[in-house]
Amino acid sequence: MEEKQFEIVEKSAQVFLKFGVRAVTMDDLARELGMSKKTIYKFFSDKDALIRAIIEFKTQGDREICQIAFEQAENAIDEMIRISEFMSEMLQDVHSSVFFDLQKYHRDAWQIMEDHKNTFVRNQIKHNIERGIKEGVYRENSDSDILSKAYVLTMGTLFDGYTFPSSEYKFTTVFNQIIRFQIRGLASAKGLEYLTKRLQHEI
């Protein structure tokens, strides 16, 4: 990706996430970025192409963050907490309409997110559960295949716009509650002891 193209993707992502996807026109975006629409269209044929590039950029960033968390984490619980802290920070400033807009008006970009969730995210959780079992911080009878699928399905409700409507629920609150429920459900006695020390009763 060229430097200017990367700049457009990175800055456009901030604008769309802050104000919503449908609410921001290409004219609005050009003003926010301080450049002409011609410059944007030099790299992206239309808004839909730009949105796809942003989602690809964001999912790649997710993969990199997860890899860092895996490498630096003390154990599986620490890895899960590091990832959840990143996700919570990322979600806190996202406009409530973003995921609905993607699902309804930018289906290709939404499908990229769905594929990312159903492949990378699920495998990441599966490996985390298997790691935790080996380390003794997760219960030995935890089924990584079943629970990783359950995780993906549960997280899907956060973005569907219906189960937890933004008018009633805050993304970060729901996300953190789900993560707390899942970690405690997985944790062995050793894991719960570690969890208490790690977060001082905050999770």
Specify the pLDDT at position 85.
Answer: 87
What is the C-alpha to C-alpha distance for residues 126 and 189, in angstroms, rounded to an integer?
Answer: 20
What's the full length of the chain, in residues? 203
The C-alpha atoms of residue 144 and residue 19 are separated, in whole angstroms, by: 38
What is the tens place of the pLDDT at every residue in 107-156? 999 999 999 999 999 999 999 999 999 999 999 999 999 999 999 999 88
Query: 152-195, pLDDT tens digit by residue?
Result: 999 888 877 788 887 788 888 888 889 889 999 999 999 999 99
Mean pLDDT of the chain: 92
CA dihedral 7, 9, 10, 16 (to 10 degrees): 140
The domain 3-199 having CATH identifier 1.10.357.10: the answer here is: yes
3-state secondary structure of 187: strand
User: Quick check: 129 and 177 in contact, CB under 8 A?
Assistant: no
Where in the chain are the domains? 3-199
Task: Supply the pTM of this predicted model.
Answer: 0.89
